[in-house]
Amino acid sequence: MTVAGRTALVTGGSRGIGRAIVESLARGGARVAFVYNSNSAAAEAVAAALQAEGHEVWAIQADVRSKPAADKVVADVVEKWGRLDILVNNAGIIRDGLLAMMDAQQWQDVIDTNLTSVFNFCQAVTRQMMSQRYGRIINMSSVAADVSNPGQANYAASKGGVEGFTRCIATELARRGVTANAVAPGFIETDMTVAVVNAAGDEIKKKIPVRRLGRPEDIAGAVMFFAADESSYVTGQVLKVDGGLTLGGL
């Protein structure tokens, strides 16, 4: 699958799944800019390690919840590299709580970070990608869009929104050579899931047919498929990458 010579932008690239996506794109030969929010030490470490391998990688601080910030990041990348071929909307958070106890801020933080950010960056890249007649948009969903977990009404709503949004823009952009797809991870070992995994221990693995938690690289592999030149006839799809967690066979 080819991304060599392409230019990519990844949100939330400093840790976890986003970091693995940045590494895969860079090692595949793409120039990669990535956005982080607060942890500049982690972001600079990711960029420096890949630069030391000879890859072109650029860490940019921005808050994905802000439309002006998204517009500026995209404009800066296009100014620096002349085009933008691949957008991965990966940044996301959880703020779990049962509905009866969920405050409005918990709701809004998750919707803004996980869903409004996807609107912000997709709209920011649309003109550039349409005029290039080439683009690959990959949005990060979750199996939580389909599988109901108590305490995740805000998160499920944000990820369900991401999937509907992705299908809709896929129909709008297809004629201009721009695809839009989503990846829906299951349980992946990152900072986001460490508390749940520590609390549940090995019990969690018994619910997963492949009998292990996912690794960030498992998700990066799926993103690389949608990001590649060769996937031009695949659009509006959601690919679950969950080790069979949602098959319901156990």
Instruction: Please identify every residue annotated as catalytic.
Output: 155
Answer yes or no: are the C-beta atoms of 167 and 236 closer than 8 Å: yes
Which secondary structure element, helix H or strand E, spans residue 118, and what is its range? helix 117-132
Among 30, 47, 60, 91, binds ligand NAP (CB under 6 A): 91
Say if residues 58 and 79 touch (Cβ distance below 8 Å). Answer: no
Task: Answer yes or no whether residue 113 interacts with ligand NAP by CB under 6 A.
Answer: yes
Q: Which two tokens stand for residue 18?
A: 């986003």
Give the range of 10-18, 45-53, 146-154, 163-171 binding ligand NAP by CB under 6 A: 10-18
Residue type present at position 222? A
Tokens 């156990």 sit at which residue? 250
Q: Which stretch binds ligand NAP (CB under 6 A): 11-19, 45-53, 77-85, 221-229?
A: 11-19
Q: Does 38 bind ligand NAP (CB under 6 A)?
A: yes
Length of the chain in residues, anyone?
Answer: 250
- Candidates 3, 9, 10, 18; binder of ligand NAP (CB under 6 A) is 18
Nearest distance, CB of residue 128 and ligand NAP, angstroms: 20
Residue 56 burial (CB < 10 Å; 0-12/13-18/19+)? middle
**8 A C-beta contact, residue 195 and residue 204:** no
- Whole-number minimum distance, CB 14 to ligand NAP, in Å? 4
In the complex, the smallest distance separating the C-beta of residue 166 from ligand NAP, rounded to whole angstroms, is 13
Contact track, ligand NAP, 175-214, x by CB under 6 A: ----------x-xx-xxxx---------------------
Does 174 help bind ligand NAP (rule: CB under 6 A)? Answer: no
Copy the structure tokens of residue 231. 């996937």
Q: What are phi and psi of 222, to 5 degrees?
A: -70, -40
List contacts with ligand NAP (CB under 6 A). Answer: 11-12, 14-18, 35-39, 63-65, 90-93, 113-114, 140, 142, 185, 187-188, 190-193
